[in-house]
């Protein structure tokens, strides 16, 4: 049942993506077993590069296990979730699945427009993008404020200008010490 639902969702994304179906097409007939925590399902690549649930007892060509929390990581960074996956079996097939999963895009606005109309779909998608960007903006703002506090108020960190000045002064001191060593060496040889 889970494989059926996953296949429908995947095929909805694959249908308009000719490049993705072309990527999977050489693997027609192959099955992939996925494990996401307690969720386990096996899908099989069909003749058109679309997915379908694998028949009961199908031996998978590739077995892909994701670490706990991979679903949440996938929402933030799809490629990061794949880096932590454990893969056994057909490496080429797994690589194709990974490329498709990391690069396929869901046209949410198009799907919403069928339900609520074009204008409402555009506004909802825009609101969703703004909401998704909010945590990143907050993190950047917090980092900038913390950086300013630690460099200007608490004086725990130095600014790039202060670091460059320090490096320049160290270079001058090193040169002065080298000149002094040469002078001492000349004076000691003169005696």
Same domain, 87 and 139: no
**Could you tell me the two tokens for 162?**
């202060």
> Averaged over 149-174, what is the pLDDT?
88
* Domain shared by 44 and 83, yes or no: yes
Q: Quick one: 53 and 65 in the same domain?
A: yes
Asked whether residue 144 falls in the same domain as residue 166, the answer is no
Q: 93 and 52 in one domain?
A: yes
Q: Summarize pLDDT for 33-81 with one digit per residue, the tens.
A: 998 877 889 999 998 999 999 998 899 999 988 876 655 556 556 666 6
Domain boundary among 33, 68, 103: 103
Q: Say yes or no: 142 and 188 in one domain.
A: no
Q: What's the rounded Cα separation, in Å, for the pair 51 and 30?
A: 10
Where does the pLDDT of residue 133 fall: very low under 50, low under 70, confident under 90, or very high at 90 and above?
A: confident
Same domain as 150, residue 96 = no
Structurally, the chain folds into a number of domains equal to 3
153 and 165 housed in the same domain? no
Helix, strand and coil in the chain, % to nearest 5: 65, 15, 20
Same domain, 68 and 136: no
Torsion of CA 23, 66, 60, 53, to 10 degrees: -70
Q: What mean pLDDT is predicted for residues 103-113?
A: 76
Question: Other CB atoms closer than 10 Å to residue 20's CB: what's the count?
Answer: 22
Residue 182: both structure tokens together:
């040469």
- Claim to verify: residue 31 and residue 83 sit in the same structural domain: yes
Q: Are residues 149 and 163 in the same domain?
A: no
Q: Which has the closest alpha carbon to 19: 92, 77, 104?
A: 104
Range of the structural domain that residue 97 is part of: 2-103
């Amino acid at each position: 049942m889970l494989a059926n639902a996953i296949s429908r969702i995947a095929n909805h994304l694959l249908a308009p993506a000719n490049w993705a179906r072309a990527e999977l097409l050489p693997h027609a007939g192959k099955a992939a077993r996925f494990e996401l925590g307690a969720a386990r399902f096996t899908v099989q690549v069909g003749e058109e590069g679309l997915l379908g649930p694998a028949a009961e007892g199908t031996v998978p060509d590739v077995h892909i296990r994701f670490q706990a929390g991979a679903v949440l990581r996938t929402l933030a960074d799809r490629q990061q979730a794949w880096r932590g996956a454990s893969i056994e079996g057909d490496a080429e097939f797994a690589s194709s699945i990974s490329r498709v999963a990391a690069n396929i895009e869901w046209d949410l606005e198009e799907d919403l427009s069928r339900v609520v109309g074009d204008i409402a779909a555009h506004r909802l998608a825009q609101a969703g993008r703004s909401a998704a960007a909010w945590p990143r903006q907050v993190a950047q703002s917090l980092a900038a404020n913390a950086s300013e506090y630690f460099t200007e108020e608490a004086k725990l960190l130095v600014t790039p200008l202060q670091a460059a000045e320090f490096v320049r002064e160290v270079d001058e001191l090193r040169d002065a010490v080298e000149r002094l060593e040469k002078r001492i060496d000349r004076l000691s040889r003169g005696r």
